Amino acid sequence: MSQRSCLSVILAAGEGTRMKSAMPKVLHAIAGLPMMAHVVKAAEAAGATGVVLVIGHGADEMRKAVQKFAPKAETFVQEKRLGTAHAVLAAREAISKGYDDILVMFGDTPLIDAQALAAARQKLAEGAAVAVIGFRPPSPAGYGRLIEKSGHLIAIREEKDCSDEEKKIGFCNAGMMAVTGKHALRLLDKVGTKNAKGEFYLTDIVEIAGAEGLDVVATEESFESALGINNRAELAEAEAIWQARRRREAMLSGVTLIAPETVYFSHDTEIGTDTIVEPNVWFGPGVKIASGAKIRAFSHIEGATIASNCDVGPFARLRPGADLRNKAKVGNFCEVKQATIEEGAKVNHLTYIGDARVGAAANIGAGTITCNYDGYSKFFTDIGEGAFVGSNSSLVAPVSIGKGGYIASGSVITESVPDDALAFGRARQKTIPGKGKELRERLASAAAARKKAAAE
């Protein structure tokens, strides 16, 4: 089968009115990736050498989105919604190019397993003309039934067209199928509209193929993997299933999740063995974590790279561009954005580091801020190896702290500090004996006067 070419036709023209959204349904995200992109990834993993998307509602928005996750995919517009077979034929130009296999999929089934698609393709390689993917839902109500005889699929009956006996069948149509390329267009062109809805049903090609003496079979996928998304409640259910799968995968690959149900991964999260993740951690897109890191509770991480044996959190926020090198530490209530924290450097608590480099083994005291933005432009702060920045310091960029530099606590640093220098940037303290008592008495008297005036 590896030598067989395959075109995946993904139907994504539905309006998705039950989502109650101005955005096309299939662009709603699972794990930070549009559900349609999950379908594309599954098709590619199943060996699809070409991908086409049949779109309708929000076509311009769809095309822009597709460029991000499937730049080589072709798009075709279904101008009128006349049924699933009509939608597939919107991609006639692509189907006619002579692919061995045609996979027909739906853009709102983000949990589909690539292995299920490959299994359907395998049936084509073994001689079937059509292989339909079925599943067994908890209740078959509302689904088309797969009607089999002697191991062959003889019909798919939409529920509105089912007899009472057929409605008892528990094996249902998941909607997806594989069709041999040499038969696909001929079978599709024979589909008519003799049904309760007067539409061109893709499912009719099962009986059409059977009438021609072609072999039609059904394969079985899990209910979860075939789940279609129609509203936001089902979107949340799909997210929960995806996350449960990813957590299990992470743990089986050597990652410790102390409370797995509270950890949320993105579609592209990379996390190394022997990493420990404490409860209530959220990974956004673009996170790469090497082995042996510790991610403490309530941390929020996106677009960040974390090297081996780093320690992050609790309550840390790593924003895009955060780059933590080996054994770096970013502690509680710290935020790092577009900055490198080099090997062994410590940013322990209550600190903002943005547009900066913190050199190896440097120590950043509590409450330190890199003042990187003047309201119009961003500027860079460079902190050298082994530097010490005292608590509650403000480093006004552009500025550099040399190797081994020492910044006194409470300083506002506006000029660069040479290697091994000590810098103070604060007003001199002045103490006036007795002045505190005098000030308190004066303030108390003024407050009493205001209270009396208000009472009168």
Active site amino acids: 349
The 3-state DSSP class for residue 179 equals strand
Say if residues 239 and 225 touch (Cβ distance below 8 Å).
Answer: no
Residue with tokens 């089968």: 1
| Alpha carbon 117 to its chain's center | 22
Alpha carbons 369 and 314: distance in angstroms, whole number: 19
Report the C-alpha gap between 33 and 14 in whole angstroms: 19
- Measure Cα distances from 279 to 156, 215, 236, 259, 312 in Å: 46, 52, 20, 5, 13
- What is the secondary structure of 363-401 as a DSSP string? EE-TT-EEE-B-SS-B--EEE-TT-EE-TT-EEESSEEE
Q: How many residues does the chain have?
A: 456
Instruction: Give the angle subtended at the CA of 221 by the CAs of 42 and 117, to the nearest 5°.
Output: 35
- Can you name the residues that pair with 52 across neighbouring β-strands? 9, 74
Taking the C-alpha atoms of residue 41 and residue 131, their distance in angstroms, rounded to an integer, is: 20
